[in-house]
Structure 1
Amino acid sequence: MKYVFNYTFILFILISSQFSKAQTYSPCDSLATKETRWLFSSMQRLVDAGVMIGHHDDLAYGVGWRFDPNRSDIKSVSGDYPSVYGWDLAKIEHDSTKDINGIPFALQKKLVEQVYARGGINTFCWHMDNPANGKTAWDTSIQTIKELIPGGAHHQDYVNNLDKAAKYLKSLKGPEGEPIPVLYRPFHELTGNWFWWCKNTSSADDFKTLWRFTIDYLRNTKKLHNLLIVYSVADFNSEADFMVRYPGDSYVDFIGFDNYCYKSIPYYQKNLDKRLALLDVIGTKHHKLACLAETGYEGIPVADWWTKTLLATISKHKTSYLLLWRNANTHHFYAPYPGQLSFDDFKQFSESPQTMFQKRLTPLAVYGKLMDGR
């Protein structure tokens, strides 16, 4: 990787100031690393430049391929990589060499470093297996969270899991040994009813306690200061709904939600528009960036879904980024691939000034230094 230091800061300020002149705010971690602070400030300044488009596991596999170097379904269609790249920590709690989707953690680490090298943004979720009984993340048979908070019967089991994740996250380094900034999205879809951390398996107070303990432990005990924290819910219909389990401004940098399109496009579009509008208000009030943390239409059976549904809705709001879910196979995919029905429309979507892919992002030096763009 090569850095271009001459005039980098001046260049970034000149470029980004054309997009947003609003005041920027510091990360909720007062000890955040220099690169992490730059990233958070950059993403605030660029919020009017277009929504950053992301894809989960984008570089690891796609429809009809797996672990091919430099390959990406997004790139095969648009000619460009996404600007945000999603990953999962799941199975690291068991000392597994592979994540929940079969990606070796050694390979995942290399891909995260590649993303950073080209000036892209990495985000992690964690489908952690239930620490209280060893079942999957989708186990809701017990009231788990009360067992994991300090004083709970399985608190130490949970801490052991955090230790393993922290060791891995700490290993993600840039070429000068700097910690790579990560958008960390714990307990995603927390207002649903399908994970052990959801609203049906805990009280709001216990959930907030676990969230605060988790972030405090990673920051203060494990000394991870390269994390920007994403609070991402499922369904909500009002500001009050969204805030019921909110752990506080000192523990959150991004606010978002997961929202998928099913058979009724009008229903999806109506809810997406309403919820993004609510985030516009909440984000301004709490000085947080808004995101669409997961979205997509499985199989994309509508040729013009990207421009007529998704772009038409997100372009009306101040959304920092959105993340499309993964391309596992010909039945379970959320981004197009060559020959797929929505190929042409996605290409048009990617060329819109209201979306941002990697080539537009790299020159903007979001980490405070220009990367080599590879």
Structure 2
Amino acid sequence: MSIVKQIGTSIIVFCLATCTTVADRSPETNALLAALKSLSGQYILLGHQDATAYGVDWSAEPNKADVKSTTGAYPAVYGWDVGHLEIGKPANLDNVSFNLMRTRIIEAYSRGGINTISWHTTNPTNGQSAWDTTRNSVKEILPGGKHHDTYNNYLSRLAAFFKTLKTDDGTAIPIIFRPFHEHTGSWFWWGEAFCSPQEYVALWQYTVHYLRNKNGLKNLLFAYSSSTIESEAHYLARYPGDDYVDIMGFDDYCTGDEAAYVKRMANSLRVLTKVAKERDKAAAVTETGYEQIPNANWFTQVLYPAIKDYPVVWILLWRNAINRPNHYYVPYPAHPAADDFREFYRLPIICFEDGLAPFDIYQPTKP
């Protein structure tokens, strides 16, 4: 039997075993998913990667975030990454210790914030980075592949960490997990040039099955996140199926040509919000931003007009790196765009963490 046929069989088996019901998620996780769908079209939540782990000229300080220092409020959505967890390192690829990450995730949840985790995972076939584009890596880590056991070890470490994300009373903190992102590009080992659509779908479904069914993780929502959306057909070519996806999104950045960015965003958002509505999924811009923010009015005059008419429930700005002085996406207080960012914060449909309080997003609905 060929690998493709084996993969096809695996997909059928996993679908039968993994079809999602309300019982597959904790009450708090179901409440979060319902809140995301309810808020969509009414508010757009502001997110920031590694917001409370470090920022411009600071690291690991308590009660600090560049978003908060500039606007007075924390972001509503906190982005994290667990790359390097799978190989047993104490800190991720951006030098955030997993102990600190756990603490900050718990703190964000206790304030009513939302946590989403991406995974720039090491290539299981050779131990190189996520950007190592060795061909056939996906095929070799699927069931029957020669590196399948290594991938299972990766997932075991991931599951063990997710199980530690809980409050003092034992409540598992809902996490939006966003693996294998930007897969419609070809810069990661899981990118479209390096695996077939069937192999990508099999990898996604196997990962969900391992975490949700084998390890009993009921606090996970899964986000399917491409790079810039070229067309509906291209976006859905590797879609794992409705039982394996809770949020649909894409990543796109402004890289200098603001008009081109707005045009790309419009096309991506049209497709995204259409297919998400058809599948009853929440939609999000899972990564965006403008490095160094050279336009002092970018947030209100470029970003806001680009997103305001589309029912996306959050946008996540990328990180303010302490170890790369020119790599930041949120204004710090002295930045020329700080005033504009504060104006962006005050826009009626834009919601930071302080705006989430009235919605009680983790409170399960009483029957």
Is the Cα contact below 8 Å between 1:27 and 1:37 reproduced in 2?
no
Q: Deviations over 1:321-361 (max 9, x none)?
A: 11100000430001110111211000000111121001110
What is residue 71 of structure 2 aligned with on the other side?
Answer: 78
State whether structure 2 residue 315 is matched by structure 1 residue 353. no
Query: Within 2, Cα distance between the matches of 1:28 and 1:57?
Result: 31
Shift of 1:237: 1.7
Query: Within 2, Cα distance between the matches of 1:235 and 1:301?
Result: 22
Which of 302, 305, 320 aligns to 1:309? It is 302
Q: Deviations over 1:164-196 (max 9, x none)?
A: 010000110023201100000000101111000
Is the Cα contact below 8 Å between 1:49 and 1:353 reproduced in 2?
no
Q: Deviations over 1:60-107 (max 9, x none)?
A: 100010111100000011110000000111111121111111111111
Shift of 1:142: 2.4
What is residue 144 of structure 1 aligned with on the other side?
Answer: 137
What is residue 168 of structure 2 aligned with on the other side?
Answer: 175
State whether structure 2 residue 153 is matched by structure 1 residue 135. no
How do residues 147-226 of structure 1 correspond to structure 2 at under 5 angstroms?
147-226=140-219
Structure 1 length-normalised TM: 0.90
Which of 234, 241, 245 aligns to 1:241? It is 234
Q: Match for 2:223: what amino acid?
A: V
> Which piece of structure 1 moves more, 295-304 or 42-51?
42-51
Query: Within 2, Cα distance between the matches of 1:68 and 1:219?
Result: 34
Query: Within 1, Cα distance between the matches of 2:360 and 2:145?
Result: 44
What is residue 222 of structure 2 aligned with on the other side?
Answer: 229
Distance 1:344 1:140, change over 3 A: same
Query: Within 1, Cα distance between the matches of 2:134 and 2:202?
Result: 21
Q: Is the partner of 2:201 in helix, strand or coil?
A: helix
Shift of 1:312: 0.8
Q: Match for 2:192: what amino acid?
A: K
Q: Match for 2:123: what amino acid?
A: N
What residue ranges of structure 2 are gaps of 5+ in the alignment?
A: 1-18
Query: Within 1, Cα distance between the matches of 2:31 and 2:306?
Result: 29
Which of 81, 88, 93 aligns to 1:88? It is 81
Query: Within 2, Cα distance between the matches of 1:235 and 1:364?
Result: 31
What is residue 332 of structure 1 aligned with on the other side?
Answer: 327
Is the Cα contact below 8 Å between 2:70 and 2:331 reproduced in 1?
yes
Distance 1:214 1:29, change over 3 A: farther
Query: Within 2, Cα distance between the matches of 1:281 and 1:323?
Result: 20
What residue ranges of structure 1 are gaps of 5+ in the alignment?
A: 1-25, 370-374
* Aligned residue pairs, count: 345
Which of 353, 357, 362 aligns to 1:367? It is 362
Q: Match for 1:339: what amino acid?
A: A
Shift of 1:30: 4.3
Q: Deviations over 1:212-231 (max 9, x none)?
A: 00001111101111111000
Query: Within 1, Cα distance between the matches of 2:93 and 2:220?
Result: 22
Q: Match for 1:58: what amino acid?
A: A
Shift of 1:265: 0.2
